Structure 1
Amino acid sequence: MSYFMYDLMGETHDEPDAEAMRRVLDGLAEADDEHPDVSLSHESGWCLSAFTGGLLVWENTDNGSPAPGKMHKVSREEVLRLFGLLAAGDITTVEEQPWQR
């Protein structure tokens, strides 16, 4: 199973461990209008994008369906938990979250 992350500046991190995910997420402290998010993408096409303020977006970037889901005010620890689930390929558990579509 393959996954990767984009940091705030768009640099790719292949299969980061939990500590590397934390460091990438910490980069959100420097977010601006041009670089607003970090993301984790799974080989299946599913992606989680985290923004400052706790916005989390869930979407399939390969096929575009279903409509992207959003959650607001998601804690840092919950984002990391969901990143870990997606990295492990547990799409079902991530999809079962209370996404607003």
Structure 2
Amino acid sequence: MTYFMYDVQGNAVDEPSAETIRTLVVDGLAEPEAANPEVSLTHESGWSLTAFAGGLMLWENVEEAEEGADGGSHALTLDDVAAEEAARLFALLAAGEVEKIAGLGWQQTG
């Protein structure tokens, strides 16, 4: 399965290992000098996770968002997600475990 990440410096990383994912998420979100306050992983299925330094996570299908005619955000959110848990969810998405991620208590955004 194909996937890629963006680190806190905005660099793309193709198919990082589980260890690299953890480092990019946990260490990256703790970096006070980061260019961006988030990291993201997008899977070939179109599903994407974004984790922010404050604990917010977004879950969305970026392909469906691009196709949507209403222009609104279809992202779902989780609050207060610890960096280690975010890294675990990123690893699940990298493995294509979309259903496991979708089954969490995501909230619809406004």
Using the size of structure 1 for normalisation, the TM-score is: 0.89
Instruction: State how far apart, in whole Å, the 1-side matches of 2:86 and 2:56 are.
Output: 10
After superposition, what is the alpha-carbon deviation per residue over 1:3-26, rounded to whole angstroms, capped at 9, x for unaligned? 111001211111111211122111
Instruction: State how far apart, in whole Å, the 1-side matches of 2:4 and 2:63 are.
Output: 15
User: What residue is the counterpart of 2:53 in the other structure?
Assistant: 52
Instruction: State how far apart, in whole Å, the 1-side matches of 2:86 and 2:50 are.
Output: 9
Instruction: State how far apart, in whole Å, the 1-side matches of 2:106 and 2:33 are.
Output: 25
Q: Once the 2 structures are TM-superposed, how far is the Cα of residue 55 of structure 1 from its aligned partner?
A: 0.7
| Candidates 93, 99, 104, aligned match of 1:92 | 99
Q: Which runs of 5+ in 2 are unaligned?
A: none
The alignment-based identity, stated in percent, is 49
Q: Once the 2 structures are TM-superposed, how far is the Cα of residue 35 of structure 1 from its aligned partner?
A: 1.4
Q: Is the contact made by 1:31 and 1:37 (CA closer than 8 Å) also made in structure 2?
A: no
> 2:95 corresponds to which letter in structure 1?
A
Q: Once the 2 structures are TM-superposed, how far is the Cα of residue 53 of structure 1 from its aligned partner?
A: 1.7
Instruction: State how far apart, in whole Å, the 2-side matches of 1:10 and 1:34 are.
Output: 7
Q: Once the 2 structures are TM-superposed, how far is the Cα of residue 32 of structure 1 from its aligned partner?
A: 7.0
Q: Which has the larger radius of gyration?
A: 2
Q: Is the contact made by 2:28 and 2:34 (CA closer than 8 Å) also made in structure 1?
A: no
Q: Is the contact made by 2:3 and 2:94 (CA closer than 8 Å) also made in structure 1?
A: yes
Q: Is the contact made by 2:2 and 2:44 (CA closer than 8 Å) also made in structure 1?
A: yes
Q: Is the contact made by 1:8 and 1:31 (CA closer than 8 Å) also made in structure 2?
A: no
Q: Once the 2 structures are TM-superposed, how far is the Cα of residue 36 of structure 1 from its aligned partner?
A: 2.0
Q: Which runs of 5+ in 1 are unaligned?
A: none
| Candidates 88, 97, 102, aligned match of 1:81 | 88
Using the size of structure 2 for normalisation, the TM-score is: 0.82
Instruction: State how far apart, in whole Å, the 1-side matches of 2:91 and 2:22 are.
Output: 11
The secondary structure found in structure 2 opposite 1:94 is helix
Runs of 4+ in 1 over 4 A off after TM superposition: 31-34
Instruction: State how far apart, in whole Å, the 2-side matches of 1:82 and 1:34 are.
Output: 23
